[in-house]
């Protein structure tokens, strides 16, 4: 008779080596001017650490805008923004572990010499 307790299995998902993910988001903005001209400067930093190692995202941003109102009915404006992002990604270890057959155990190779 079949006894499932005698079948060896391996929990691949538990052995992937996950970590706690985190997100940091910081921004600052400065605005000033008069009735005729207004200016704004902003900067930001965003970092997200994934639950898998080697899966992270970082973004730096800076921007500037100027509005000019020479008369009551006319308004000119301009803005410029710069964004630099870094994506660190690799093959999903957790996704690969989901596809592994639980009846197969990892092979440990001993170094010789």
pTM recorded for the entire structure: 0.66
Residues 40-72 pLDDT 10s: 999 999 999 988 878 899 999 999 999 999 998
Q: Which residue has the higher pLDDT, 15 or 39?
A: 39
Confidence of residue 105 (pLDDT cuts 50, 70, 90): low
| 6-43 burial code (b ≥16 CB/10 A, e <16) | eeeeeebeeebeeeeeeeeeeeeeeeeeeeeeeeeeee
């Amino acid at each position: 008779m079949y006894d499932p307790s005698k079948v060896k299995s391996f929990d691949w998902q538990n052995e992937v080596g996950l970590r706690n993910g985190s997100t940091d988001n910081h921004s600052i903005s400065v605005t000033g001017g008069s009735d005729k001209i207004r200016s704004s400067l902003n900067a930001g930093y965003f970092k997200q650490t994934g639950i898998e190692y080697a899966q992270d995202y970082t973004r730096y941003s800076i921007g500037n805008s100027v509005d000019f109102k020479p008369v009551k009915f006319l308004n000119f404006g301009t803005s410029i923004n710069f964004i630099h992002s870094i994506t660190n990604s690799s093959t999903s270890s957790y996704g690969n572990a989901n596809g592994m057959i639980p009846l197969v155990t990892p092979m440990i190779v001993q170094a010789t010499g």
